[in-house]
């Protein structure tokens, strides 16, 4: 783990997507965070030693999902499937599919495996899976504010975790989509999908893959305006100065009413992934955030852990 000295930073962004704003100052106490995302090899050790079974390996029930097609009430998860050519980008269901049998050992379905990928970030982990690993390891998940503070690497107010220029001196700085989404991916340093952790340069704090490669779970419930902004569930009051260690600990604002799964709370994902394409999802940035239902596992979501100093 890497020790992050506490301090104050401006988090959020008002230049790209509405859920990232407003920009606000927050203060965080010193903490530790994993230098790299949790890998397939590390998660495999956790499963072998604990006997843990992930959410994707358990069949959902009709009681939990009363509107679901009974044929889909089997163990599985969401897998990215590229289109055969250019398509409109308004409907993600065009490139996501529920695949029975997909789970962390078989991230693209039963015919796939993680052989030779022990140094890649583990994927197909739902929020409870990440929490279970963190508890087993004697750690916890980072808050959204901690995660973004760490991802910025000391570069306050910059667009990317390395600065404002997307490709300084022409260098590719993160694993994100190269080509025309969602049908042609030329590969980031040759990787179409996840890449071995540490394949791209670290940020100013020495942290790898804070943006790109995989989205990462945080402990905050999703709120449209984020931690450190006044709103339901945000514990952020301070007698003076910016909010200290802000967190959104109430699920009240996280439900996606009117859509399937509206009864399932959502947590905040940070950092973007290998699927982020500039024309569709410019989210390989510290300020980027995305709501995800806690029961959802996909082929582009992973995590890293945090801890309090001893």
Residue ranges of domains in the chain: 1-310
Q: What is the dihedral of CA 86, 92, 234, 127, to 10 degrees?
A: -120
The pLDDT score that the predictor gives to residue 240 is: 67
Q: Which of 30-44, 81-95, 180-194, 236-250 has the lowest mean pLDDT?
A: 236-250
Classified as helix, coil or strand, 133 is helix
Looking at residues 236-245, what average pLDDT do you find?
Answer: 72
Distances (CA, A) of 113 to 109, 210, 296: 8, 25, 20
Higher pLDDT: 226 or 130? It is 130
| Cβ proximity of 146 and 31 under 8 Å | yes
Output the CA angle 159-164-169, nearest 5 degrees.
140
Looking at residues 27-38, what average pLDDT do you find?
Answer: 98
Q: What percent of the chain has pLDDT over 70?
A: 97
CATH 3.90.1580.10 fits 1-310, yes or no: yes
What is the pTM (predicted TM-score) of this model?
0.95
Q: Tokens at residue 17, please?
A: 């997507």
- Express the helix, strand and coil content of the chain in percent, nearest 5 each: 15, 20, 65
Q: What is the DSSP string of 67-90?
A: TS-GGG-SSEEEEE---SS---SS
Calculate Rg over the CA atoms of the chain: 19
């Amino acid at each position: 783990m890497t020790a992050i000295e506490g301090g104050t930073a401006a988090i959020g962004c008002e230049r790209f997507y509405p859920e990232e704003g407003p920009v606000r100052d927050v203060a965080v106490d010193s903490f530790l965070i994993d230098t790299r995302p949790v890998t397939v090899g590390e998660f495999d050790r956790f499963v072998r030693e604990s006997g843990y079974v992930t959410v994707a390996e358990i069949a959902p029930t009709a009681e939990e999902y009363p509107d679901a097609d009974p044929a889909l009430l089997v163990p599985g998860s969401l897998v990215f499937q590229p289109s055969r050519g250019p398509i409109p980008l308004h409907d993600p269901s065009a490139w996501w599919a529920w695949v029975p049998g997909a789970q962390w050992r078989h991230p693209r379905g039963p015919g796939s495996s993680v052989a030779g990928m022990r140094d890649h970030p583990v994927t197909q982990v739902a929020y409870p899976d990440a929490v279970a690993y963190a508890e087993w390891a004697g750690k916890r998940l980072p808050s959204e504010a901690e995660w973004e503070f760490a991802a910025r690497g000391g570069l306050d107010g910059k667009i990317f975790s390395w600065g404002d220029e997307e490709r300084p001196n022409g260098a590719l700085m993160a694993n994100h989509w190269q080509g025309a989404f969602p049908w042609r991916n030329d590969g980031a340093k040759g990787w179409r999908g996840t890449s071995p952790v540490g394949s791209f340069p670290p940020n100013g704090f020495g942290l790898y893959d804070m943006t790109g490669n995989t989205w990462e779970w945080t402990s905050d419930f999703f709120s449209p305006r984020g931690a450190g902004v006044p709103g339901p569930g945000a514990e952020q009051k301070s007698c003076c100065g910016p909010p200290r260690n802000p967190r959104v600990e109430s699920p009240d604002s996280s439900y996606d009413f009117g859509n399937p799964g509206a009864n399932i709370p959502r947590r905040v994902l940070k950092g973007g992934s290998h699927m982020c394409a500039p024309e569709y999802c410019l989210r390989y940035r510290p300020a980027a955030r995305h709501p995800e239902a806690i029961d959802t596992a996909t082929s582009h979501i992973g995590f890293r852990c945090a801890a309090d100093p001893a």
